[in-house]
Amino acid sequence: MNKNIAVIRGDGIGPEIVNEALAVLDTVGDIYGHTFNYTDVDMGGCAIDKWGEPLPDEMLEKCKNSDSVLLGAVGGKKWDTVPGHMRPEKGLLKLRAGMGVYSNNRPAKIWPQLADASPLRPSIVEQGIDFIIVRELIGGIYFGEHKTTEVNGEKQANDDMCYSESEIERIGRIGFETARKRGKKLCSVEKSNVLDTSRLWKSVMHRLAEEYPDVELSDMLVDNCAMQIVKNPAQFDVIVTENMFGDILSDEASMITGSIGMIPSSSLGSSTCGLYEPIHGSAPDIAGMDIANPIGTILSAAMMLRFSFDMSAEADAIEKAVYDVLEQGYRTADIMPGDEARCKKVGCHEMGQLIIKSLRGTKQ
């Protein structure tokens, strides 16, 4: 099978982790008889430096014309002082909107080898952490009007949150369909005791629930959900929520699993052309030092194979290779336990090579 992948290496550690993911994809292609063609795309701070904007239109077109997009990370302190509309993150928002990827899916699953890396008490971790946050991605306050004015001699800023019934319904259906394939439990998270958008969200979700009688729907206020994720994460199967709430909760969920460097994500819309990326940032302070964790990016590539290319066996093989390498005791710095005697610290490139070596051993 032939697939064209737009590759955004981005800033900071982005190029390092993406290079390891591409090496894994090339190994998959070699083993299973696929050809992956890569097209480089500039986005983020590197695009600002080269083109004067975070995502030029021609770069967006390359992404839209691909079969899917693999992204490392964008941003860094170097660009903190540029105008708001020019920040590297604006390129990411433009990319999501341009591709029409309205559903971001972030798993929060603890790998058994990393159980002791979780900041939660062992008695909580032992109950299990395995849920998915389905986040609406191209609506809400991030895409509303943003303005700063002067009123009575002082600056006043406004950021508008807006959702339509159709926007809520399409992400709600993703939540219900995802829950139907898992444990059939869906928690809808909002702030309906304060916000009109959340009251509309809640009403649409309950209307949709009538079409999914096999899925148990519950409602939870976002502040309570933030507490429950650290108090009793085992209660969750699928969480569906709006853009800003999902951004915050998914980062929180990633940390209870031991390391943000382990978590992949997918962003999909009405087509199979998706955006796949680890959920961590660009970490410019460790860029070029060969100590970044590439596993989140490698697992994002596995999600691409599974959800966009219908290559479940190949995705399973990558995930098994990651499991085996962790089982052998290899760790990057961010997942290295305090007791280093039982594990071996490796760098970014070596971790990628170890996964490739294990991957080649998974094909019978």
Active site residue 320: no
Q: Which of 3, 62, 94, 191 is catalytic?
A: 191
**d(C-alpha 316, C-alpha 299), whole Å:** 10
**d(C-alpha 347, C-alpha 333), whole Å:** 8
Query: Beta strand 238-241 with 185-190: parallel, antiparallel or unpaired?
Result: parallel
Among residues 347, 334, 331, which one has the least CA distance to residue 291?
347
Q: Which of 30, 130, 219, 251 is catalytic?
A: 251
Q: Which of 80, 223, 285, 310 is catalytic?
A: 223
Among residues 126, 157, 129, which one has the least CA distance to residue 141?
157
Q: Which of 11, 67, 90, 142 is catalytic?
A: 142
DSSP state of 117: G
What the block records as the tokens of 299 is 């697992």
Active site residue 316: no
Q: Report the DSSP beta bridge partners of residue 147.
A: 158
Q: Are 282 and 12 in contact (CB under 8 A)?
A: yes
Give, in degrees to the nearest 5, the angle at Cα 275 between 285 and 181: 115
Tell me, rounded to whole angstroms, the distance of Cα 100 from its chain centroid: 16
Active site residue 285: no
Active site residue 251: yes
Q: Which of 247, 276, 330, 334 is catalytic?
A: 247
Amino acid at 145: E
Active site residue 130: no
Among residues 93, 175, 169, 168, which one has the least CA distance to residue 134?
175
Q: Which residues are catalytic?
A: 142, 191, 223, 247, 251
